A and B are shown apart, each in its own frame.
Chain A
Amino acid sequence: MTAFLAWLRRDLHVALRNAPLLLGGLMQPILVILVFGNLMPRLGLVTPDFAIVMVPGLMAISVLMSGVQGLLMPLAADLSGTREVDERILSPLPPLLVALERILAGAIQSSLTGLLALPIMLFLMHEVRGFDLDPAWTLLLPVVLACGFLAAAFGLTLGTLVQPRFAGILFSVLLGPMMLFGCAYYPWRAMDSMGFVQWLFCLNPLVFISEAMRACVTPERPHMAAPLIAMGIAFYGFVFTWAGARLFEKRTIA
C-alpha cells in the first residue's frame, strides 16, 4: 500500500506541476460556451436554454478528454519506447495495482478538470439572460469522481492498445464521433420517441457521463433515470478497468 500511495502522490505532484496541460480538457467547454452560450444568444440565434442543455454535456466532455489525454499519450509513448513504466513495475507493487493507481490518479485529474469547467462556463454565460442553474452540489463530487474513473480506465485501455503515432488520429476517428454522439449537446431523454435508436446511443460510454452530469447539474430537467446511469457507469468502468489492467500487464511483463 505504501508504494501505491507513493505513486499516487508522485502522479498528482507531476499533474500539479503540469497544470497548464489541464487546458487541453477545458478548451472544448470554453470555446463552445463562448459561441453557443454567449455570442449566439446575444445575436438572438439560439435561446439561452440551449446553452444550459450543453453545460453538463460539456463537463462530461472535459472529464472524458482529460481522462483520456492524461493516460493515453504518456502510456503509449512509455510502453513503446521510454520504458519509464518499468520503474513502476519494479517497485514492490503487483502490476494490477500499478494499473489501478494510474486509473485513480487519472480519475482525480479528470474529475478536477470537469469540476473546474463548470464555474468557467457559468462565468462565460453570466451576462446572458434567462439563465437558471441549481446544481445538486453534494451529489456532484462523488458522481464526477466515478465518471473520472471511467474516463481514466478508458484512457488506460486506449493507451495500451495504440501506438503513439496513431494516437493523434484516434482523437478525430474515435473521440470526435464519441463526443458528437455522446448526448453532450442534447439530452438522452429528448430521443424518447426514437425507439431503439435511443438505446443504440448507450453503446457510447460518454452518454452515461453526460447524463450523470445532467442529473447533478440540472436535476430538475429531464435526464436518464439514476439507476440506469449508475449501471452504465459501473458497467463501462468495470469493463475498461479490467481490459486496461490486463492489457497493461501484458504490455509490461514479457
Chain B
Amino acid sequence: MPPAVIVQELRKTYAPKGKGVPVEAVKGISFEVGEGEFFGLLGPNGAGKSTTIGCITSLVRPTSGTILVDAVDVVARPTEAKRKIAVVPQTRNLDRDLTVREVLTYHGRYFGLAAAEREARADRLLSELQMKEKADAKPLTLSGGQQQRVMIARALMHDPKVLLLDEPTTGLDPQARRQLWSTLRALHKSGVTVILTTHYMEEADQLCERLAVVDHGKILALGTPAELKKSLPSGHILDLWLRSHASLMEKLGLIEGVLKVEAVEAKEGDEASGVTERLRLFIDGRDGLLEQALRVVREQGADLHHVSLAAPSLEDVYIHLTGKDLRE
C-alpha cells in the first residue's frame, strides 16, 4: 500500500518581518507516514513542527520540497489535497457564530456532503465524542477540552484520509488530556491515519507508533518509541547534579559498567539551587555502580546536589540527541 503522506526535502524560510532576518523554520525534512499509522512529530516550541503541518495542509507555502497526500501533490493541487486531509489546529478556531451542531453540518456542506449524510454523521460524531448534550451550545461557552473534541468531530465530518493534530493537548487539564488520548486511540483503531505534533514526551510515547524527533527545523531521529530508546547507549541512566565544576567526566567514564558519560545543559531552575553541572551516565545493570560513582565524586572533591537513577524515556532520547532538556 502506498504511504498516506510523503514529505520530501521540505524547506520553509519565512520572509523577514520589517528589518529582521529571514527565518529558516524547516531545513530539509523528509518522512513518510503509512496508511493507518499514528505518526508523531516531537520537539520543543519553535522546532518547525507547526510549519511542517502547515505545509501539509497548504496553509504554509513551502520554499522547496515535495508533499504528497494520498499521491496528490499538495503544492500543485491544493484544493484536491484539502479534501483528503483534516486539521485540528493549535488555535481553537470554531465558528463562534454557529452552534456546535451547525459547526459540523456546515463543515459537511463545505465538503459537499448530502443533507441526510451530514446530519447522520454529525449525530454519530456528537455521540461518539460525548458532545450530544452540547449540540445546541455556542462554541465559546464550552471548556477547552470540549472545544477540542468539537474540533476533532468537525475534522472527521468529511471522512479525511489523514487527520493532523497540532499540539492538541496544550492547555488542557490532565483529565481532559487523558480523555483526548483515549479518543485519539479509538480513532486510530478505526483506521484513520493520524499525524500529531507535541512537545509532551509522555504523549508521544503513549500514542505514536512511530515518531520523528525534530529540533531547529531538522529531524534528529526517526523510529518507534522503543527503537529510539534502544538507540541510547544503555538501558539505565544515572544523573548527577553538581554544585561545583570538576573534571569528573573522564574519571567517571573509567568505571567498569559505565558505558558513556554526557554533559547536559543545566536548567534555569537548577541554577537557583546552585547546580552548575549535570552529568548523565549510561550504565549497565550491575550492582554497586552507584556507590562507585559516588566515591569518585567524593574523591574529586566535587559538591554533589542530588542524583537520580531511572530507565530511559523519550525525554532521555531527546537529551541524548540535543544535549539539552526539552523545556515546556
Interface residues of A (CB under 8 A from B): 2-3, 6-7, 9-10, 14, 17-18, 81-84, 86-87, 89-94, 252-254
User: Contact check: which of A7, A83, A94 meets B79 at CB < 8 Å?
Assistant: A94
Is B87 touching A83 in the complex (CB atoms < 8 A)? no
Is B97 touching A17 in the complex (CB atoms < 8 A)? yes
Is B61 touching A253 in the complex (CB atoms < 8 A)? yes
- A3-B61 contact in complex given A83-B91, A92-B83, C-beta closer than 8 Å: no
Closest A residue by C-beta to B57? A90
Chain B residues whose C-beta falls within 8 Å of the C-beta of A89 in the assembled complex: 58-59
- Kindly state whether residue B295 has any CB partner on chain A within 8 Å: no
Closest A residue by C-beta to B155? A90
- Kindly state whether residue B298 has any CB partner on chain A within 8 Å: no
CA distance A94 to B110 in the complex (A): 13
Is A90 touching B91 in the complex (CB atoms < 8 A)? no
- What are 29 A-B contacts with C-beta separation under 8 Å? A2-B110, A2-B112, A3-B111, A6-B106, A6-B109, A6-B110, A9-B109, A10-B98, A10-B109, A18-B97, A82-B93, A82-B96, A84-B94, A84-B95, A86-B87, A86-B91, A87-B93, A87-B107, A90-B82, A92-B79, A92-B83, A92-B110, A92-B111, A94-B78, A94-B79, A253-B58, A254-B51, A254-B59, A254-B61
Closest B residue by C-beta to A3? B110
- Kindly state whether residue B129 has any CB partner on chain A within 8 Å: no
Told that A6-B109, A82-B96, A91-B111 touch, could you supply 7 new A-B pairs with CB distance under 8 A?
Answer: A2-B110, A83-B91, A86-B87, A90-B58, A90-B59, A92-B80, A254-B14
- Kindly state whether residue B54 has any CB partner on chain A within 8 Å: yes
- Kindly state whether residue B60 has any CB partner on chain A within 8 Å: yes
CA distance A93 to B110 in the complex (A): 9
Chain B residues whose C-beta falls within 8 Å of the C-beta of A83 in the assembled complex: 89, 91, 93
Main secondary structure of the interface of A (DSSP, over half): helix
Is A252 touching B107 in the complex (CB atoms < 8 A)? no
User: Contact check: which of A18, A84, A91 meets B110 at CB < 8 Å?
Assistant: A91
CA distance A9 to B80 in the complex (A): 22
Distance from A70 Cβ to chain B, minimum over Cβ atoms (Å): 13
CB contact list, B214-267 vs A, under 8 A: none
CA distance A9 to B110 in the complex (A): 10
Interface string of B284-312 (1 = CB under 8 A from A): 00000000000000000000000000000
Closest A residue by C-beta to B54? A254
Chain B residues whose C-beta falls within 8 Å of the C-beta of A81 in the assembled complex: 91
CA distance A172 to B87 in the complex (A): 40
Chain B residues whose C-beta falls within 8 Å of the C-beta of A93 in the assembled complex: 79, 110
Distance from A69 Cβ to chain B, minimum over Cβ atoms (Å): 15
CB contact list, B110-130 vs A, under 8 A: 110-112
Chain A residues whose C-beta falls within 8 Å of the C-beta of B112 in the assembled complex: 2-3, 6, 92
- A252-B59 contact in complex given A83-B89, A83-B91, C-beta closer than 8 Å: yes
CA distance A252 to B59 in the complex (A): 7
Chain B residues whose C-beta falls within 8 Å of the C-beta of A6 in the assembled complex: 106, 109-110, 112
- A86-B59 contact in complex given A92-B110, A254-B14, C-beta closer than 8 Å: yes
Chain A residues whose C-beta falls within 8 Å of the C-beta of B83 in the assembled complex: 92
Closest A residue by C-beta to B94? A84
Closest B residue by C-beta to A14? B97
Chain A residues whose C-beta falls within 8 Å of the C-beta of B109 in the assembled complex: 2, 6, 9-10
Closest A residue by C-beta to B14? A254
CA distance A89 to B78 in the complex (A): 10
Is A84 touching B60 in the complex (CB atoms < 8 A)? no
Is B91 touching A82 in the complex (CB atoms < 8 A)? yes
Chain B residues whose C-beta falls within 8 Å of the C-beta of A91 in the assembled complex: 82, 107, 110-111
CA distance A6 to B114 in the complex (A): 12
Distance from B51 Cβ to chain A, minimum over Cβ atoms (Å): 8
Chain A residues whose C-beta falls within 8 Å of the C-beta of B86 in the assembled complex: 90
Distance from A75 Cβ to chain B, minimum over Cβ atoms (Å): 14
Distance from A19 Cβ to chain B, minimum over Cβ atoms (Å): 13
- A86-B89 contact in complex given A6-B109, A253-B59, A254-B59, C-beta closer than 8 Å: yes
Closest B residue by C-beta to A4? B110
CA distance A69 to B270 in the complex (A): 53
